[in-house]
A and B are shown apart, each in its own frame.
Chain A
């Protein structure tokens, strides 16, 4: 340890300056060193002078998964407030909704993970970590399936709404590697929920799916989205929403078992009706 490190400001303000979210150490970790399991955030060194030994120490800095940015509790609070404001101010900022979900969702994600662990199919998903991406989906094969099957209807949903499974934001602010996967899975399953609930990607459809997800997952971001989303709707839509769609979504959400406990990639050939029955989603009302 260089004696200089003990003098002056380099020591005093150390932890404030050497903030989490620092880019240091990322290069080492990007090369695929095994991620340490555990809490993602820990107050960093008090020093900025680094000797050779400390350099090695820094390599165990916490990037728990690719794209992870460790954040302090203060930063999480600021991010949550800012993201909530920005998401309402500019609804096209989907990344802000994602950030809000990550910073506020820790306890909901933990209970989701526990639900997954206690279910055989959910446990399998946690072990195998499947990802839904265009590169892994056989879209032409799914398109070739008969009408009414889950795979066919999913691709129909993607085509008619002109969305792609690859537009999901990568996870950045969750400080646990397994929970990061859980929220990533939740995001990727969101489109599948649209298909199962029969809702399009317009504002109305998104709100209905948010209500369903809010009941199912308990994520604060879903609850906020469900409650504040309707603010921008006109009276007629609001009426349909409150009289028919929301009660149905809530009832379905309560009736259904945890939607993350289904290995959807193995169920493309299953019909939508039978899958709905298996999960416990009630038949959608006609709009």
Chain B
């Protein structure tokens, strides 16, 4: 989901300098990258300007526009995700959780977590891990502690096992609202909190979380490098950064089909299901502007993360980037 609020003037000018530096850096870099060519196929923007889909807008404008996009799609967000990806987005998110492999006791920060997909999956995973642990202990005839025995008798989990916690942070109140309603409807209440916040300026102290995830949100951030730096800041040493985002397809034939589908079908689906063509046009355009796998990996390394890796899913339609703060 979306992330941005208008920055104060000074921060904006600093942001513009960083943005310009990044752009010129990218310009020099991509001449040598073959596949990563697409990342080079971007407009040269002036200072203080950035992309909103294929439009060029000022940086403050982008934030507002992105906010409005997600405000209007919030209610139909989940149903549109299912229609556009034919349900495959669920698999992508499941794979992200498997890669994360959280143990009971993990503190997760899910940025741009709007409607809570990652958070709910985290809770399910941690609970099933706990049950798995109990079963293992029983199998190997180890004695359960009194705490574990009393927990297994409880019908409802009053707390998440091990004290696991997930904080869902999103800049958009509408998306959080939809998420909270879903949580209530599905019965998730413990270990879950909802916070309004900007990925570029997170309202948390340093070194607080074990895992930081951002699923399909970072491409909407105006200053991606700032979001990455904030991620580094709020993670504990040893913490993991995980990003699930649309990326560049590596197979040329598949890429053409993907483009055809993206530009011809998705806005039509948006109009028919959600009554909103323009937001989904923005979506497919913003995917094209996001850096390719290697370039994004370099950006993550710049923020200080180590052992940065990425993994393509569905032939590169999405990629999971992972890094550690060590």
List the interface of chain A (C-beta within 8 A of B): 4-5, 7-10, 12-13, 16-19, 21-27, 47-50, 55, 69, 72, 74-75, 78-79, 82-83, 86, 93, 95-96, 99, 172
Contact = CB atoms under 8 A, between A and B. Distances in A.
Contacts, number: 100
Contacts of B275: 93, 95
A96 B272 contact: yes
A55 B43 CA distance: 9
A266 to B, nearest CB: 35
Interface string B129-164: 000000000000000000000000000000000000
Interface residues of B, number: 38
A99 B52 contact: no
A27 B58 CA distance: 12
Contacts of B281: 19, 21-23
A3 to B, nearest CB: 10
Contact of B252 (A12, A48, A99): A12
B37 A8 contact: yes
Given A12-B256, A48-B41, A26 B288 contact: no
Nearest to A76: B268
Contacts of B37: 4, 7-10
Given A9-B37, A13-B255, A79-B272, 19 more contacts: A8-B34, A9-B38, A16-B256, A16-B260, A17-B262, A17-B263, A17-B288, A18-B54, A21-B281, A23-B281, A24-B54, A24-B55, A27-B57, A48-B288, A75-B264, A75-B268, A78-B265, A99-B271, A172-B277
Interface string B252-285: 1001100110111101110111010110011011
27 contacts: A4-B40, A5-B41, A8-B34, A9-B37, A13-B259, A16-B256, A16-B263, A17-B259, A21-B277, A21-B281, A22-B285, A23-B54, A26-B55, A27-B57, A48-B41, A48-B42, A49-B41, A49-B43, A69-B278, A72-B264, A75-B268, A78-B264, A78-B268, A79-B272, A96-B272, A99-B272, A172-B277
Top-9 shortest CB links A-B: A19-B263, A48-B41, A82-B272, A24-B54, A10-B41, A8-B37, A78-B268, A16-B259, A17-B259
Q: Is the interface of B mostly helix, strand, loop or mixed?
A: helix
Interface of B: 31, 34-35, 37-38, 40-44, 52-55, 57, 252, 255-256, 259-260, 262-265, 267-269, 271-273, 275, 277-278, 281-282, 284-285, 288
A23 B68 CA distance: 15
Nearest to A17: B259
A198 to B, nearest CB: 32
